[in-house]
Amino acid sequence: MVARLSPPRDLAIGALVGSLVVVVSFIGGNPGWGVISHSACVITADLGNVTVWRAAAIVASPYDGSESGEIVATATHDGSSFTVSQPTEVTSGNVTAYYLGFENWSVFSTRTVTQAGPGPNENCRDGFVAFGSPNPAQGLRSGGVTSFLMYANLSSDTDLPGEFNASQLCLELENSSYSSCAVSAQFDLNFVRATGQVDTCASGTAEVASVSSDGWPSVVPFPYDGSVHLVPLEIQNWTDPTWQNDSVTWYNYTFPAHGGIWQYDNLSQTSSTGAGLVFKYSPCP
């Protein structure tokens, strides 16, 4: 039996693969069209750079089950295009990050303005945004791995930290302890409430659920003006129209026959910084 779960919103997110930047959409609010005037989100100032650990996608598998899918990321720069695809294979309640890398981002302040004439209403969701930055000598990304096991054999995806241990990643993956390395993107990886469930206790066949998402949304903590702000990582760089980036992840989850009851939280529905499914498992009564 196959169940297809379609997220009701466009996440517009992504990751950075080599020189490919993928990020999270931050335009929201006031949907629709203005006839006489319309709202627009504009950049007001360049606030500096931040270097951050982040992943293209983080995949949780159901306990005693499995996930198989694919990440496809496309980039166009100065007229040249390339596409990178990566299969995902996660089993037995494990949680794995894909395309985990050490990336450079430029942070800008934003504000909503009113512009004369007709146009779509696009308000800033936040007062800040970050774009992938090619400014440092090493380019957009430095180091990293294709896949990284975060957790093993979880029966329930609850109370998990919403960030990487950046200092430890610096030591394990970069062989470095320099302070600028120790920043992690923040994201949602927790089962909070059930948006559905799969019960195979009385089923003689395995069941499959499928869902897709335009990447993995995340934010980065950025200190500014005496406070720390959570800045969304944006897929489309307004400051460099020669960059065009896109990312999509397909998730296919398999639940074994007579295996139990899996409640799932569809983060593509319930979270602004998470995607795919996370689970809470119960054995058959």
Distance CA 185, CA 55 (A): 8
Distance CA 111, CA 81 (A): 32
pLDDT (0 to 100) of residue 16: 31
Mean local confidence (pLDDT), 26-37: 66
**Identity of residue 203:** S
pLDDT (0 to 100) of residue 126: 80
pLDDT (0 to 100) of residue 92: 95
Nearest CA to 12 among 248, 253, 197? 248
Q: What is the pLDDT of residues 2-13, one digit of tens each?
A: 344 433 333 222
On the question of pLDDT at 166 being above 70, the answer is yes
> Measured between alpha carbons, how far apart are the two ends of the chain, in Å?
22
**Identity of residue 284:** C
On the question of pLDDT at 1 being above 80, the answer is no
Q: 74: which 2 tokens?
A: 């496309």
pLDDT (0 to 100) of residue 132: 76
Contacts for 99 with CB less than 8 Å, ≥ 6 apart: 15, 16, 17, 55, 56, 57, 71, 73, 86, 144, 146
On the question of pLDDT at 241 being above 80, the answer is no
Distance CA 16, CA 100 (A): 8
pLDDT (0 to 100) of residue 195: 97
On the question of pLDDT at 25 being above 50, the answer is no
Backbone angles phi, psi at 253, to 5 degrees: -105, 135
Which 3 state secondary structure label does DSSP give 136?
coil
Q: What is the pLDDT of residues 32-71, one digit of tens each?
A: 888 899 998 888 999 988 888 989 899 999 999 999 999 9
On the question of pLDDT at 23 being above 50, the answer is no
What average pLDDT is seen over the chain?
82
Residue that wins the pLDDT comparison between 210 and 29: 210
In this prediction, residue 24 has a pLDDT band, given cuts at 50, 70 and 90, of very low
Residue that wins the pLDDT comparison between 265 and 29: 265
Mean local confidence (pLDDT), 94-106: 89
On the question of pLDDT at 272 being above 50, the answer is yes
pLDDT (0 to 100) of residue 185: 94
**Identity of residue 222:** F
Q: Report the percentage of the chain scoring pLDDT > 70.
A: 78
On the question of pLDDT at 256 being above 80, the answer is yes
pLDDT (0 to 100) of residue 17: 34
Element (H, E) at 167: helix 166-173
In this prediction, residue 137 has a pLDDT band, given cuts at 50, 70 and 90, of very low
Nearest CA to 278 among 107, 65, 72? 65
Q: Edge to edge, what strands does the sheet with 261-266 contain?
A: 196-199, 261-266, 277-282
In this prediction, residue 80 has a pLDDT band, given cuts at 50, 70 and 90, of confident
Q: What is the pLDDT of residues 187-214, one digit of tens each?
A: 999 999 999 999 999 999 999 999 999 8
Q: Report the percentage of the chain scoring pLDDT > 90.
A: 52
